Homo-oligomer: A and B are copies of this chain.
Amino acid sequence: MKTNLRKYRFENGELSQQQLADMIGVSRQTIVSIEKNDYSPSVKLALILAKKFNITVEQLFELEEGDIDETR
């Protein structure tokens, strides 16, 4: 899975990681980890992020080859 979080964060007034974290009520470290693709966040968080940026979850996160086999 690929994440475009940083791309949209910059496109949205060049928010800092902390500003975005504050806006949606998570820790900065969570934003850092998502941007680094450390793990797959909850779909609830993904929906909130997508809504904040006025995009779809599919634009924010992209499945990649191999994802289907391994699943989550």
- Tell me the A residues contacting B by CB distance below 8 Å: 1, 24-26, 40-48, 50-51, 56-58, 61, 63, 67-72
Contacts and interface: CB of A to CB of B under 8 A. Distances in A.
**Interface of chain A, main secondary structure:** helix
Contacts of A67: 44, 47-48
Number of copies: 2
A5 B63 CA distance: 19
Given A25-B70, A70-B25, A46 B48 contact: no
Contacts of A47: 1, 57-58, 61, 63, 67
A47 B46 CA distance: 11
19 contacts: A1-B47, A24-B68, A25-B68, A26-B71, A40-B42, A40-B43, A40-B44, A41-B43, A43-B57, A44-B61, A45-B72, A46-B46, A47-B57, A48-B67, A48-B68, A50-B58, A56-B56, A56-B58, A57-B57
